[in-house]
């Protein structure tokens, strides 16, 4: 079937069959390779994208269910050549090592900060509970989200 959706602010169309997952559409058809496949079964969060502002596991969602939706991937975060505050903070706080979990972490954190611009440490931990990182020990990631929130609030 033919679907239309908005991806990183751009209207796109695609021919998808019912077995195609959203991650396949984004990575294989649209070449948005920030979207990572880890477990493939909804347990690691590496494939997270925002669908109408909400984090979803793109490995679990059929592509056709994104019809008419607005999708955000990490490729869509940069504005006028400037990284998003979260991207800057992840760099500054050394919150990324192998980087495999990073796009999913950043997008999950983005959704949190859009809803709650000044989250507590516990709220950040809860929001990121579905995103697994095998490298960092999580503390730099939490600090990066706090840092981005502080930047957005002009506290830094
Ligand atoms: S690849 Fe989708 S949750 Fe792990
Ligand atoms: S930085 Fe390697 S999995 Fe998180």
What does DSSP assign to residue 62? B
Residue 37 has pLDDT above 70, yes or no: yes
Of the candidates 8, 145, 139, the residue with the CA atom closest to the CA atom of residue 72: 8
Q: Which atom of ligand 1 is closest in space to residue 42's alpha carbon?
A: 3
68 and 133 in a single domain? The answer is no
Of the candidates 68, 2, 69, 48, the residue with the CA atom closest to the CA atom of residue 29: 2
Cβ atoms of 66 and 111 closer than 8 Å: no
Of the candidates 98, 89, 6, 3, the residue with the CA atom closest to the CA atom of residue 50: 6
**Residue 49: its pLDDT value, please?**
98
Of the candidates 128, 92, 94, 131, the residue with the CA atom closest to the CA atom of residue 113: 128
72 and 121 in a single domain? The answer is no
Residues 6 or more apart from 155 whose CB is under 8 A from it? none
Place 66 in a pLDDT band, splitting at 50, 70 and 90. Answer: very high
Q: Which of 76, 108, 129 is the last residue of a domain?
A: 76
pTM of the model: 0.96
Other C-beta atoms lying within 10 Å of the C-beta of residue 115? 12
Range of the domain at 15: 2-76
54 and 22 in a single domain? The answer is yes
Ligand 1 pocket, 148 CB below 6 A? no
Distance, CA 50 to ligand 1 centroid (Å)? 14
Q: Give the residues surrounding ligand 2 with Cβ less than 6 Å away.
A: 96-102, 133-136
Look up the CATH number of the domain holding residue 25: 3.10.20.30
Q: Which of 57, 76, 95 is the last residue of a domain?
A: 76
71 and 89 in a single domain? The answer is no
Q: Which atom of ligand 2 is closest in space to residue 105's alpha carbon?
A: 4
Per-residue pLDDT tens digits for 47-65: 999 999 999 999 999 999 9
Q: Which atom of ligand 1 is closest in space to residue 44's alpha carbon?
A: 4
71 and 101 in a single domain? The answer is no
Residue that has been written with the tokens 């994208």 in this structure:
49
Tokens of 100: 């495999």
Backbone angles phi, psi at 11, to 5 degrees: -70, 125
**Residue 154: its pLDDT value, please?**
77
150 and 97 in a single domain? The answer is yes
Burial grade of 122 (CB within 10 A; 0-12, 13-18, 19 or more): exposed
Place 15 in a pLDDT band, splitting at 50, 70 and 90. Answer: very high
The count of domains in the chain is 2
**Residue 155: its pLDDT value, please?**
66
Ligand 1 pocket, 56 CB below 6 A? no
Q: Which of 21, 41, 76 is the last residue of a domain?
A: 76
Ligand at shortest distance from the CA of 134: 2
Look up the CATH number of the domain holding residue 149: 1.10.150.120
Place 3 in a pLDDT band, splitting at 50, 70 and 90. Answer: very high
Of the candidates 54, 131, 52, the residue with the CA atom closest to the CA atom of residue 96: 131
User: Could you give the angle at which helices 102-115 and 85-92 cross, rounded to 10 degrees?
Assistant: 130
68 and 95 in a single domain? The answer is no
Q: Which atom of ligand 1 is closest in space to residue 57's alpha carbon?
A: 2
Distance, CA 131 to ligand 1 centroid (Å)? 9
110 and 67 in a single domain? The answer is no
Distance, CA 56 to ligand 1 centroid (Å)? 10
């Amino acid at each position: 079937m033919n679907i239309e959706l908005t991806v990183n602010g751009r209207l796109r169309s695609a021919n998808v069959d019912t077995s195609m997952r959203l991650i396949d559409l984004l990575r294989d058809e649209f070449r948005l390779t920030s979207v990572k496949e880890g477990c493939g079964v909804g347990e690691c969060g590496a494939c997270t994208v925002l669908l109408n502002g909400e984090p979803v596991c793109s490995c679990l969602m059929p592509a056709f269910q994104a019809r008419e939706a607005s999708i955000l991937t990490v490729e869509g975060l940069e504005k006028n050549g400037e990284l998003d505050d979260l991207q800057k903070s992840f760099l500054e706080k050394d919150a990324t090592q192998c980087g495999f979990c990073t796009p999913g972490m950043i997008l999950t954190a983005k959704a949190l900060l859009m809803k709650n611009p000044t989250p507590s440490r516990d709220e950040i931990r809860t929001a990121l509970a579905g995103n697994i990182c095998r490298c960092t020990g999580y503390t730099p990631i939490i600090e990066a989200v706090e840092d981005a929130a502080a930047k957005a609030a002009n506290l830094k």
